[in-house]
Amino acid sequence: MLILSTLVLSLAACSAIRRIEVTTASIERVPLALSSVDTLELDEVTWIIITPENIDQIFKDLETKNFDIVLFALTDDGYENISVNMAKIKKLVLQQKAVMAAYKRYYEMQSGEIEEHNQKAKKAKEAAKDTLINKLKALFD
């Protein structure tokens, strides 16, 4: 009796096995949405160097041209600091350009790999379909 009940339980357990269906799906590429960068258009700036020797002539020229006589002055150290600051800004802009180029390369590489994956998935799906058709044909041959 024990053997019979073990046999019945074993057979009942086998009937609960389910088939697993494997499917493949294409991966859609996520679009890269970057806004365009504005073109930098700078206004012209005129520098006038004033020294003790030419200050009277500069003031006279400004009055003749009907400009307000207002001076924004820099020391030689201040001018050097402006130059250093501009170099720092240029360095930061170049770093940002490198980051954007890296994102672009990554996106283009990702697009290529997604396309490759989709092609492989399509071929696998076609191969599975062909295999199923061949099995069905074999049953009826």
Q: Are 90 and 83 in contact (CB under 8 A)?
A: no
Cα distances from 37 to residues 22, 55, 60, in angstroms, run 45, 43, 44
Residue of 111 and 85 predicted with greater confidence: 85
Residue 136: pLDDT band by 50, 70, 90 thresholds? low
Q: Is the pLDDT of residue 82 over 90?
A: yes
Q: Is 54 helix (H, G, I), strand (E, B) or coil?
A: coil
Residues 29 and 32: their CA atoms lie apart, in Å, by: 9
Computed over its alpha carbons, how large is the radius of gyration of the chain?
39
Region 45-66: mean pLDDT is 91
Region 47-66: mean pLDDT is 92
Residue of 38 and 133 predicted with greater confidence: 38
